[in-house]
Amino acid sequence: MTARHLIPVIGFAAYSGTGKTTLIEALLPKLTEAGLRIGMLKHAHHNFDVDQPGKDSYRLRKAGASQMLISSRNRYALMTETPEEESEFHFLLSRFDQQKLDVILVEGCKNIAFPKIELHRDEVGKPWLYPSDDNIIAIAADSKVTDSELPQMDINDLDAITQFILNFVASNGKSCCDNVCDKQIDKPASSCCDILSPAFLSVTQGQEKILSLVNEVTEAESCPIEASYNRVLAIDVASPVNVPQYTNSAMDGFAIRGDDIVNDEAETPSYHVVAEVMAGHAYQGELQPGQAVKIMTGAPMPAGADTVIMREQAQTNGDHVTFPEAFIKRGQNVRQAGEDLAQGSDVFSKGTRIESAEMGMLASLGFGQAQVARQLKVGLFSTGDEVQAPGTEQKPNTIYDSNRFTIMGMLQKLGCEVIDYGILEDNEQVMIDAIEKASQQTDVIITSGGVSVGDADYVKLALDKLGQIDFWRINMRPGRPLAFGQVNDKPFFGLPGNPVAVMVSFINFVEPALRKMQGERNWQPLKVNAIATEDLRSRQGRTEYSRGVFQIDPAGRLTVHTTGKQGSGILRSMSEANCLIEISPAVDTVKVGESVTIIPLQGRI
């Protein structure tokens, strides 16, 4: 989790040539005069350096200091090398001594989601940013726009911009409207507050919010080991037995007494082989001095014996054996009782998901049954008049339902019981009744479609009536709209309609929640870095999920490329992918050869 900043943060979004730095330079004296203590964060190109060749600090840094702090009477500077990857925005903000500041101004970081003032000059000849960037809370320009309700200021009116920032700081950066009452600012009748409302969330914020609102099921049940695959243990498991149960031979060979070992080339004693024991059997007597027992791997050690010599090192002669070249170490090739697991010791903790190895382990301890969390029942709906069930003849203007089936598959991967409620009719009351009924029969409800912002269709109206459901806009693509809430205390997920968006939203938000509800502990999605073999672009301030194919190239490097066209309706891209490529809001382009985060999908979809 990233540290959140304590003080307001506001940035300036503009194309180069707009005069961003000059403007900020002129604003700073006005802001400090008004009493603000200002921190500045500026994003620069990756080969930028504050240090200079020849300076002591430069030399020491180049000689290997990964952090270099240089100080004098008037200032200090800490330079930290980040060769692996660029530091995350919120981490950088946490480097400021925020106790000593009132606001952090940011220049650059145009692709990170936080409030910004768009700076625009017509003569620069660049497009406006506000139509595609929801983080813009005001415009300072040399012309007016008519298609936006954002507050507008004259880019040359420094006092108006200063006042806007003062108001923003005074309202603690939460709202851009409440305190904006200065005459110099054109404030439209309707407010811009919803841009910063909680309905606008980063992926991490959405995940955290959902996880904080869902609870583990408390009921447990007993289930036969053979049926326990993918279930989650409801109790801690201690070993009821010693593993191995008895001291036994780790080799096919000869068991002897440690006291008889000689290890002298001049003297190779001959042992009398008194018996042969197979696994599953035991030598009944006690081994006497000078005796050996021929023994198989896994067979119990005879009383008195504590050492085994491999068959390959033995020379037999009738009922006698010698070990001409073997150096013998007392206790070798013997597995002690309880060596792997002593009776009573911890094996698994509550919340462990049972997979193949766990099934085998439980069986190896003699358990016929496992105490597991009750299976989750998940109710599933598709919505939309255009959506038609497969297996029927295609009607005009329809598409076959795919979402119910991708979700079904992902639910099965998680070991959930799926209650398929089919396609919801576009009728408000029918919808309310169906979802309400589902909430009484299941633990979780999932729908797809009908939650887009601006979508005035029945799903939203119905969900609004059901109460306790919020419509979120997640800063990600695909999968921006998401409805989440409770119906009769049961978590409800209203996923988007587009087939790829459905899967990406499920992976990001539903899967972690279901795993928590199942009682699984310590789960984290696997994320690794791979080298991009094509340029990847991302959208402003959003987490971008492209469908990727990772592979090991001939040089042994993990590389990734996209599956091609990335439309959120192209389900085929998901089928061709073996990973999602995750481009964080901080990054706008990943160039060929740069490292990018991938989320392998094996085992998840």
Chain contacts with ligand AMP (rule: CB under 6 A) = 382, 384, 386-387, 399, 401-404, 448-450, 452, 455, 496-499
DSSP secondary structure, 474-487, as one string: ESEES--EEEEEEE
Binding map of Mg ion across residues 485-514, x = CB under 5 A, - = no contact: ------------x-----------------
Q: Find the shortest distance in angstroms from Cβ 390 to ligand AMP.
A: 10
User: Which of ligand AMP, Mg ion, none does 399 bind, CB closer than 5 to 8 A by kind?
Assistant: ligand AMP
Cis upstream peptide for 244 (omega within 30°): yes
What's the distance, CA 162 to chain centroid? 40
| From 148-156, 220-228, 286-294, 450-458, span contacting Mg ion (CB under 5 A) | 450-458
Task: From 81-89, 260-268, 300-308, 376-384, give the range in contact with Mg ion by CB under 5 A.
Answer: 376-384
Place of tokens 């200002």: 38
What minimum distance in Å lies between the beta carbon of 122 and Mg ion?
A: 39
State the Cα–Cα distance between residues 237 and 348, nearest whole angstrom. Answer: 5
* Rounded Cα gap, residues 180 and 174, in angstroms: 12
CB of 197 to ligand AMP, least distance (A): 21
Q: CB-wise, 91 or 400, nearer to ligand AMP? A: 400
For 411, the 3-state DSSP assignment is: helix
Rounded Cα distance, 41 and 521, in Å:
38
Quote the least distance from Cβ 463 to Mg ion, whole Å: 13
Q: Which is nearer to ligand AMP, 228 or 388 (CB)?
A: 388
Nearest-approach distance from CB 516 to ligand AMP, in angstroms: 26
| Beta bridge mates, 558 | 552
Contact partner at residue 152 from Mg ion, ligand AMP, none, CB < 5 to 8 Å by partner kind: none
Q: Which listed option, Mg ion, ligand AMP, none, makes contact with residue 163 (CB within 5 to 8 Å by class)? A: none
Q: To the nearest whole angstrom, how small is the minimum distance from the Cβ of residue 402 to Mg ion? A: 13
Q: Which is nearer to ligand AMP, 244 or 481 (CB)?
A: 481
Rank residues 149 and 386 by Cβ distance to Mg ion and give the closer one. 386
Kindly give the pairing relationship between strand 103-107 and strand 9-13: parallel
Backbone φ/ψ region at 285: left (φ over 0), alpha (ψ -120 to 50), beta: beta
When CB distances are held under 5 to 8 angstroms depending on the partner's kind, the choice from Mg ion, ligand AMP, none that residue 403 binds is ligand AMP
Closer by beta carbon to Mg ion, 304 or else 497: 497
User: Is 211 in contact with 196 (CB distance < 8 Å)?
Assistant: no
Count the site residues for Mg ion by CB under 5 A: 4
Q: Work out which of 39, 173, 379, 384 binds Mg ion, going by CB under 5 A.
A: 384
CB 135 → ligand AMP: shortest distance, Å? 23
- Residue 554: which residues within 8 A CB-CB, separation 6 or more? none
**How many CB atoms sit inside 10 A of residue 342's CB?**
14
Least distance between Mg ion and beta carbon 457 (Å): 6
DSSP state of 374: P
User: Which of Mg ion, ligand AMP, none lies near 335, with the C-beta cut-off 5 to 8 A by kind?
Assistant: none
Do 354 and 229 touch, CB atoms closer than 8 A?
A: yes
402 binds, among ligand AMP, Mg ion, none (CB under 5 to 8 A by kind): ligand AMP
Q: How many CB atoms lie within 10 A of CB 524?
A: 7
Q: Are 256 and 271 in contact (CB under 8 A)?
A: yes
Per partner kind, with CB cut-offs from 5 to 8 A, the member of ligand AMP, Mg ion, none near residue 496 is: ligand AMP
Query: Least distance (Å) from ligand AMP to the CB of residue 406?
Result: 8
Stretch of 56-64, 342-350, 446-454, 531-539 contacting Mg ion, by CB under 5 A: 446-454
The reply to whether 449 sits near Mg ion by the rule CB under 5 A is: yes
Closest CA to 256 of 241, 275, 281: 275
3-state secondary structure labels for all residues of 117-134: EEEECHHHCCCCCHHHCC
Please report how close the Cβ of residue 410 comes to ligand AMP at its closest, in angstroms.
14
Among 11, 173, 379, 450, binds Mg ion (CB under 5 A): 450
- Which residues contact residue 531 at a Cβ distance below 8 angstroms, ignoring those fewer than 6 apart? 557, 558, 559, 560, 593, 594, 595, 596
Q: Which is nearer to ligand AMP, 194 or 455 (CB)?
A: 455
Residue nearest to ligand AMP (CB): 497
> Using CB under 5 A, which of the segments 39-47, 341-349, 445-453, 520-528 binds Mg ion?
445-453
Q: Which does 494 bind (CB under 5 to 8 A by kind): ligand AMP, Mg ion, none?
A: none
Q: Between residues 173 and 499, which has the closer beta carbon with respect to ligand AMP?
A: 499
415 binds, among Mg ion, ligand AMP, none (CB under 5 to 8 A by kind): none
Indicate the residue among 63 and 456 with the shorter CB distance to ligand AMP: 456
Q: Name the binder of 573 from Mg ion, ligand AMP, none, CB < 5-8 A by kind.
A: none
Spacing of C-alpha 473 from chain mean position: 19
Round the CA-based radius of gyration of the chain to a whole number and report it.
34
Residue 57 CB contacts under 8 Å (≥ 6 apart), including other chains: 51, 68, 70, 79
> Which residues are bridge partners to 600 per DSSP?
579
Q: Are strands 291-295 and 271-277 parallel, antiparallel or unpaired?
A: parallel
* Residue 343 interacting partner from ligand AMP, Mg ion, none (CB closer than 5 to 8 Å by kind): none
Beta bridge partners of 586: none
Q: CA separation (Å) from 374 to 239, 260, 400, 523, 526?
A: 23, 58, 33, 18, 26
With CA atoms as reference, report the closest residue to 437 among 416, 419, 413: 419
Closest CA to 236 of 362, 149, 122: 362
Choice between 373 and 500, CB closer to ligand AMP:
500
Q: Which is nearer to ligand AMP, 85 or 385 (CB)?
A: 385
Q: CB nearer to ligand AMP: give 111 or 452.
A: 452
Summarize as ranges the residues that interact with Mg ion (CB under 5 A): 384, 449-450, 497
